[in-house]
Amino acid sequence: MTKLVRVIDTKRCMGCRSCLAACYVENHLTPESPWNVMMENEGGSYPNVNRTFTTMNCMHCEHPACKAACDAIDVKAISKNELGVVLIDYDKCIGCQYCNAACPYGVPQYNNEIATLYEDGKKTPYEQQAYKKRHPTHRKKAKTVEKCTFCWHKLEKAVEKGETHLIGQVPEYTPSCDLVCPVQARVFGDIDDPESEVSKWVGKKKATQIKKEFGTRPQVYYVLEGGDY
């Protein structure tokens, strides 16, 4: 089996938010509905102070609470595929936001409108890219909920080409946030492969999931430096 996970080493993370910028550009940011955020947390008191950086995106849980909530009302807009990626189908989504309410991590983001990036209200050539030319996950719809896809549009190509073993190992099959990190604070890959970086980091660096009490079994792990989760 292939189970895709991300490991984020907050000891290496320097809080630059490059992963956010890359995500926003890669995934056609809907302003006000970010798929990736950075939390800065200050602790201690002067002069013994710490500041920690934790970047957050969808946990792609093994038991996604968002999906359970969506299924419970029979909307079934949320799926979890064989590689473990949780996706929202904008065409099925009714915008009820139950998924957001259920997610312990508050991941799904409701967007009221597809606003332009600049305040002049006009679309740049980047925003003008036709929907039919975009991957379905980038065909954003107002009044629906969206979230991180693990850059499914990239992983899907690995599936098409029968190269899922290369996921997380070559740039074209690696989520953009993991690709751009200036300090290699994050890795992506198959945790069922004992030779993968993610497997090794979980072992060697003692990475763990957060908010485990909800039993959703997140597929994003953290090497924690402190702070508050």
Partner 1 sequence: MSLSRRSFLKSTGALSGTAASGITLPTIARAVNQASQNKKKLQQGEKYVKTTCVHCVNFCGQNIKMEDDIIRVVYPDPARAEVYNKGICPKGGAGPFNTYNPYRIKAPLKRTNPKKGPDEDPGWVEISWPEALDTVADKLKKIRADDPRKLIWHHGHGKYLIQDGFPKSFAKAFGTPNVVHRTTTCEAARHVGDELTWGHHEFLPDLDYCQLQLNLGANFFEAEQWARWLDHSTTDAKERGMKLISVEPRLSNTGAKADQWIPIRPGKDVVLLLGLMHLFIDADTVDHEYLIEFTNSTHLVASDGHIIHNKAGEPLVWDTVSQRATTYKKGVKPALRGNYSIGNKNVRPSFQILADEVKEITPEYAENVTGIPSKTIKDLAQQMVKAAHIGSTIVLDGKRLRYRPVAIHAFRGVAAKEYGAQTWRSGQLVMMLLGAHDAVGGMRLHHPKPGSQMEASKCEYPPQRVDLQKSVYFPHATHNVCQQVAHTLLDPEAYGLPYKPEMQIFYATNRAFSTSDALKQFEGYAKTFNVVIDIVLTETASMADIVFPDLTYLEAWQFSPSRWTPVSSHTAIRQPLTNAYNIPLDAWGIIWQLAKRTGIRDEYIKAINKKFKLKKHPLNTGRDYVSKDAVEALWREKTGKSFSYAIEHAFIGKRLNVEEMYLHGVEKIYKGPGKPKMKLYADQLLGTYNNVVKTVKKHNIKNIDLKKYKIACSPLPRKEHAFPTPHREAKQLPFYLLTYKRMYRNQAGNTAQNPILNRLGDSDENYILINTKTAEDMGVKNDQQLVIESRLGKAQGKARLSQGIRPDVVAVSYHYGHWSSGFPDAAKKGIWINPVLELHPDVLAGMNSFNDTKCKVYKA
Partner 2 sequence: MKKQIKIMGLGLIIGLSVPLIAWCEDDALDLADTAEAIRDGKIDVGKDYSMHKNKGRYHLIHSETLGMECEACHVSKKYAADYLLVSKAEEENRAAGHGKRPKADVVDRGVCLGCHKTNGVAHTFFQTADK
Q: What tokens were used for 59?
A: 């946990």
- The reply to whether 217 sits near partner 2 by the rule CB under 8 A is yes
- The reply to whether 63 sits near partner 2 by the rule CB under 8 A is yes
- The reply to whether 27 sits near partner 2 by the rule CB under 8 A is no
Contact stretch for partner 2 (CB under 8 A) within 60-68, 78-86, 131-139, 164-172 = 60-68
Indicate which single residue of 5, 24, 87, 144 sits in contact with partner 1 (rule: CB under 8 A).
24
Supply the minimum distance, in Å, between the C-beta of residue 182 and partner 1.
Answer: 4
Cβ atoms of 85 and 5 closer than 8 Å: no
Query: How far is 14 from 115, CA to CA, in rounded Å?
Result: 30
Indicate which single residue of 181, 187, 207, 220 sits in contact with partner 1 (rule: CB under 8 A).
181
H helices of the chain, in order, are 18-26, 65-72, 98-102, 152-160, 176-180, 197-204
65 binds, among partner 2, partner 1, none (CB under 5 to 8 A by kind): partner 2
Cβ atoms of 53 and 219 closer than 8 Å: no
Strands (E), the chain: 4-9, 37-45, 48-56, 78-80, 86-88, 109-111, 144-146, 186-190, 220-223
Supply the minimum distance, in Å, between the C-beta of residue 69 and partner 1.
Answer: 27
Cβ atoms of 62 and 151 closer than 8 Å: no
68 binds, among partner 1, partner 2, none (CB under 5 to 8 A by kind): partner 2
- The reply to whether 68 sits near partner 2 by the rule CB under 8 A is yes
- Contact residues for partner 1 (CB under 8 A)? 11-12, 14-18, 20-22, 24-26, 29, 31, 34, 37-38, 40, 42, 44-47, 49-53, 117-120, 122, 124-126, 129, 133, 171, 176, 179-185
